[in-house]
Amino acid sequence: MKDKIKLGYIGVGRRGTWVLRECFSQMKDVEVIYISDLVPERMEQAKRTVIENSGVTPKLVADYHEILADPQVDGVIVMTGWSGRPQIAMEVMRAGKYVGIEVGCADNLQECYDLVKVSEETGVPCMMLENCCYGRRELLVMNMVKQGLFGEVVHCAGAYGHYLNDVELFKDIETETPPHYRLPLYIAKNRENYPTHEFGPISKLLGINRGNRIVSLSSFASKSRSLNQYAKDHLENPKWAEVEYAQGDIVTTVMTCANGETVVLTLDTTAPRPFYSRSYTVRGTKGMSFEDAKVIYLDGMEHKIRNNEEEFYEKYDHPLYVEYRQMESRGGHGGIDWLVCRAFVESVKNETQPPIDVYDAAAWLAIGPLSEASIQQGGAPQAFPDFTNGKWENREPVVRCKYCLDEICEDKNTPIY
Amino acid sequence: MKDKIKLGYIGVGRRGTWVLRECFSQMKDVEVIYISDLVPERMEQAKRTVIENSGVTPKLVADYHEILADPQVDGVIVMTGWSGRPQIAMEVMRAGKYVGIEVGCADNLQECYDLVKVSEETGVPCMMLENCCYGRRELLVMNMVKQGLFGEVVHCAGAYGHYLNDVELFKDIETETPPHYRLPLYIAKNRENYPTHEFGPISKLLGINRGNRIVSLSSFASKSRSLNQYAKDHLENPKWAEVEYAQGDIVTTVMTCANGETVVLTLDTTAPRPFYSRSYTVRGTKGMSFEDAKVIYLDGMEHKIRNNEEEFYEKYDHPLYVEYRQMESRGGHGGIDWLVCRAFVESVKNETQPPIDVYDAAAWLAIGPLSEASIQQGGAPQAFPDFTNGKWENREPVVRCKYCLDEICEDKNTPIY
């Protein structure tokens, strides 16, 4: 086991900078020794942050291949824009270094196959840094499900319910160029473009790639109207109201699983909505969780209950979250960034497979291109690739350290920071 | 216009009796002169209710054909069990009488085609008594949408979220035979079996059959586990835990519309859930309604709002509901039964098409068999029949009396009772 690891960091836009500042640069067992970005000013700013937080002075490189060539580097974090991440991840693995990639979806299915192939050929792990797998609610429900309180899970649903028009898509569009990297994708593509925040935790809960797998996917997009309406009502430049956006306002995706569960995902980012929600929903034969009514219900409880989650947190908070709460709050977003980054760091230190592995990454990334194909084909079900090539049937749940997401781990040794 | 109408009433089980007692027998312009049911005791009880409420003594007939043969009868209400209602409705229309049918779904598509054919051939209207079309929330949202406050509607969703195990499916199963009429259907069929409570109002809002139509339908069922678990945990007779139920616990149905909207329906009746909900959701380019968070949101309002419906009721309650509130509360269920029954009675009195017509009934009833076919075919999209045979493109919204559901009517003359 390594006491300390050295990381390279590719991509210090808004999200990359946040995670670097709040998480990796604050960890006593991590040294960020490289930063790479296309924008020199961003690199300079990120460098100052790393020095301030850790005392380490990272080297700034315009070409990230320099990071891959340095044998000192144990792992690389890829926080670039949506497109191209899998390609960089493959290069990192070929260089023999652990890779952690920010959430998103693939441009095409081939990237997903390639990601698995490269990881299998090199034996190097790839982890998607899906922070919502470590959400307090998601961990609570996993804890309760693993204890049998929900009975047999039959159905899950989730959403990326986040009204992005002003906070991302058109943010500062009158004054800044280029626009947010998501906007060109909303113009070019119609798909479930951001499935992992809600599907990551569901996938782990259902044991996808470990005893279960997704069998088929169907997607349906509403017409695209809300971006034009927003631009018309809120932006000065008339151009944005006239653009033809490919992305439907609401995209509904339904997946079926080998073990008989159904999963419904909703992409909901452009039509007005009042609050952020992952609409995390788990339905079992004995209990349910439903984020939008903030309710947990177990069979036999009195009816008409809402807003009762707090009592369950008190009783069934996931052990990992209990420990996190005892720390000073770190990493922002209620701990999800800190915990997912720690999971990556522990895997690198222990040279083990991360709790979210390359098969998870491939399956989650594949939702984008598969949903695009289904929408184009009028909702025709797409056969979901088995990236494990049959291994899913016998792959055991991982119980290794407290960051594991397959089972509740009793590990008392893994430090939380 | 008729001042008073005479009705025959077929089916006085629990629901039939409720509507007879709370609505039709209480109306000053209605005489219920026939009651028919397979169970003599039920007829006797219903007869006493009608006499008590209206002073009219209905004739009890085991064979409902007697009702159809009586030229005095203006209209017939069909409140029999799920199966066979369309067949009876066709007989009623062939006898030249208005028919009102309780909600449900068809056994097969042919019934839907036949219903339309018979109504077109005879010129006699058929109305589905979908009370939820007159729900206060649904009317409010329709009112706001028609005023343009939601912008262009792009997506709707709804559910029949009603945990039926103890309240219907297994109610009194240890002591009473036969079991509830729904139970054999849960054993025999796997489908969206009760779509109209949520889809009726959505269909009217989207102008289905009047400028819009459903183009395709896809359905997905989770595994069936919750009825067995419930029976195991709650029933004495071990038989019910061992039955193989065909009905999946959660059924998700997605429809696409000619005008580009998507509609998602969820059947959710056997897995534990804490409260009844139709999860009525309407998404527009400028506003949304979401029942499960009791929120209405218009673009520009502050974020993080929930539970704010009350202020909208005060401001935008549908004129029909405003008038209903001024009456003594009648008919139960917040007025929905009273209002839908009044809509039927007004149509019979005025000899006009009812606000929910035979094309609506056919489309809504068709969801059951189409969803069954889609589930059997692994979620393959089913082409949705155009029961109007092309007339949907030019059928105008109905603006006739205040019970109309196509547009907000300013009619001050139609009495509410």
Kindly tell me if the per-residue pLDDT of A176 is higher than 80: no
Check if the beta carbon of residue B77 is closer than 8 Å to that of residue B7: yes
- How many angstroms separate the most distant Cα atoms in chain A? 62
Interatomic CA distance for residues A337 and A16, integer angstroms = 11
Report, in this order, helix, strand and coil percent for chain A, each rounded to 5.
40, 20, 40
* Domain harbouring B378, CATH code: 3.30.360.10
Cross-chain residue pair B271–A249, CB shorter than 8 Å: no
Kindly tell me if the per-residue pLDDT of A134 is higher than 90: yes
Structure tokens at A326: 């005892």
User: Dihedral sign, CA of A231, A237, A241, A246?
Assistant: negative
Examine residue A417 and state whether it is found in any structural domain, yes or no: no
The DSSP 8-state label assigned to residue B95 in this structure reads T
Whether residues A112 and A172 fall in one domain: no
The DSSP 8-state label assigned to residue B329 in this structure reads P
A223 touching chain B per CB within 8 A? yes
Residue B263 to chain A, least CA–CA distance (Å): 9
Kindly give the residue spans of alpha helices, DSSP state H, lying in B147-220: 164, 182-188, 196-205
Interatomic CA distance for residues A203 and A363, integer angstroms = 9
Interatomic CA distance for residues A131 and A102, integer angstroms = 9
User: Dihedral sign, CA of B382, B387, B393, B398?
Assistant: negative
Q: In a 3-state reduction of DSSP, which class is residue A159?
A: strand
Beta bridge partners of A283: A155, A288
Q: Which of B135, B127, B43 is nearest to B77 (CA)?
A: B127
Which residues neighbour B338 within 8 Å (Cβ) at sequence distance 6 or greater?
B22, B23, B324, B330, B331, B332, B417
Kindly give the pairing relationship between strand B126-128 and strand A75-78.
unpaired
Structure tokens at A143: 């804890």
Cross-chain residue pair B271–A379, CB shorter than 8 Å: no
Interface mutation target, options A232, A285, A305, chain B, most CBs of B under 10 Å: A285
* Domain harbouring B87, CATH code: 3.40.50.720
- Which residue range is the domain that position A362 belongs to? 133-320+358-393
Instruction: Report the percent of chain A where pLDDT is more than 70.
Output: 99
From the CB of residue A58, how many other CB atoms can be counted at a distance below 10 Å? 24
Q: Which of A187, A145, A144, A195 is nearest to A169 (CA)?
A: A187
Query: Could you say which residues from 11 to 30 on chain B have a Cβ atom under 8 Å away from some Cβ of chain A?
Result: none
Beta bridge partners of B297: B288
Q: Which residue has the tokens 């899998």?
A: A86
Kindly give the pairing relationship between strand B98-101 and strand B126-128.
parallel
Look at residue A46 in the predicted model and tell me its pLDDT. Answer: 98
| Ramachandran category for residue B60: left, alpha or beta (phi over 0 → left; psi -120 to 50 → alpha) | beta
Average of per-residue pLDDT across B158-181: 90
Whether residues B49 and B150 fall in one domain: no
Q: Which of A76, A105, A131 is the last residue of a domain?
A: A131
Interface mutation target, options A167, A212, A222, A276, chain B, most CBs of B under 10 Å: A222
Interatomic CA distance for residues A139 and A136, integer angstroms = 5
pLDDT tens for B25-67 read: 999 999 999 999 999 999 999 999 999 999 999 999 999 999 9
Interatomic CA distance for residues A135 and A316, integer angstroms = 14
From the CB of residue B22, how many other CB atoms can be counted at a distance below 10 Å? 18
* Whole-structure pTM value: 0.97
pLDDT tens for A360-383 read: 999 999 999 999 999 999 999 999
Whether residues A203 and A227 fall in one domain: yes
Examine residue A112 and state whether it is found in any structural domain, yes or no: yes
- Name which of A223, A229, A261 is nearest B223 (Cβ-Cβ): A261
Average of per-residue pLDDT across B230-252: 97
Number of domains in chain A: 2
Cross-chain residue pair A283–B298, CB shorter than 8 Å: no
Q: Which residue has the tokens 């997905």?
A: B220
pLDDT tens for B375-404 read: 999 999 999 999 999 999 999 887 778 898
Examine residue B345 and state whether it is found in any structural domain, yes or no: no
Interface mutation target, options A283, A291, A306, chain B, most CBs of B under 10 Å: A283
- Beta strand residue intervals within A172-317, DSSP E: 214-221, 250-257, 262-268, 281-284, 287-290, 295-298
Residue B116 to chain A, least CA–CA distance (Å): 28
Q: Which residue has the tokens 């009219």?
A: B56
Read off the pLDDT band of B157 (50, 70, 90).
very high
Whether residues A248 and A302 fall in one domain: yes
Whether residues A119 and A262 fall in one domain: no
Interatomic CA distance for residues B13 and A345, integer angstroms = 65
Whether residues B278 and B364 fall in one domain: yes
Q: In a 3-state reduction of DSSP, which class is residue A410?
A: coil
Kindly tell me if the per-residue pLDDT of A196 is higher than 90: yes
B241 touching chain A per CB within 8 A? no
- Name which of A229, A256, A379 is nearest B216 (Cβ-Cβ): A379
Q: Identify the burial level of B52 via C-beta atoms within 10 angstroms of its C-beta, where 0-12 means exposed, 13-18 middle and 19 or more buried.
A: exposed
Check if the beta carbon of residue A295 is closer than 8 Å to that of residue A307: yes
Whether residues B377 and B239 fall in one domain: yes
Whether residues A84 and A147 fall in one domain: no
Examine residue B225 and state whether it is found in any structural domain, yes or no: yes
Average of per-residue pLDDT across A261-271: 98
Cross-chain residue pair B297–A273, CB shorter than 8 Å: yes
Interatomic CA distance for residues B248 and B2, integer angstroms = 47
Whether residues B154 and B217 fall in one domain: yes
- Name which of A221, A264, A295 is nearest B262 (Cβ-Cβ): A221
Give kind and range of the element (H or E) at residue A185.
helix A182-188
Average of per-residue pLDDT across B126-131: 97
Taking chain B, what is the end-to-end CA distance rounded to the nearest angstrom? Answer: 15
- Beta strand residue intervals within A62-143, DSSP E: 75-78, 98-101, 126-128
Instruction: Report the percent of chain B where pLDDT is more than 70.
Output: 99
pLDDT tens for B72-116 read: 999 999 999 888 899 999 999 999 999 999 998 889 999 999 999
Whether residues B185 and B271 fall in one domain: yes
Cross-chain residue pair A152–B225, CB shorter than 8 Å: yes
Read off the pLDDT band of A178 (50, 70, 90).
confident
Examine residue A398 and state whether it is found in any structural domain, yes or no: no
The DSSP 8-state label assigned to residue B292 in this structure reads G
- How many angstroms separate the most distant Cα atoms in chain B? 62
Interatomic CA distance for residues A373 and A384, integer angstroms = 12
Which residues neighbour A389 within 8 Å (Cβ) at sequence distance 6 or greater?
none
Cross-chain residue pair A283–B271, CB shorter than 8 Å: yes
Whether residues B69 and B144 fall in one domain: no
Look at residue B417 in the predicted model and tell me its pLDDT. Answer: 66
Sheet holding B5-10, edge to edge: B59-61, B30-36, B5-10, B75-78, B98-101, B126-128
Peptide bond between residue A178 and the one before it cis (omega within 30 degrees of 0):
yes
Interatomic CA distance for residues A101 and A104, integer angstroms = 9
Query: Could you say which residues from 150 to 189 on chain B have a Cβ atom under 8 Å away from some Cβ of chain A?
Result: 151-152, 154-155, 163
Whether residues A197 and A113 fall in one domain: no
Single-letter code of the amino acid located at B27: M
Which residues in chain A have their CB less than 8 angstroms from residue B268's CB?
283
Query: Could you say which residues from 302 to 321 on chain B have a Cβ atom under 8 Å away from some Cβ of chain A?
Result: 303-306
The DSSP 8-state label assigned to residue B333 in this structure reads G
Examine residue A269 and state whether it is found in any structural domain, yes or no: yes
Interatomic CA distance for residues B69 and B143, integer angstroms = 42
Examine residue A330 and state whether it is found in any structural domain, yes or no: no
Q: Which of B207, B193, B206, B202 is nearest to B158 (CA)?
A: B202
Beta bridge partners of A256: A216, A262
Examine residue A332 and state whether it is found in any structural domain, yes or no: no
pLDDT tens for B301-338 read: 998 899 999 999 999 999 999 989 888 668 878 899 99
Query: Could you say which residues from 252 to 291 on chain A have a Cβ atom under 8 Å away from some Cβ of chain B?
Result: 252, 254, 256, 259-262, 264, 268, 271-275, 283-288, 290
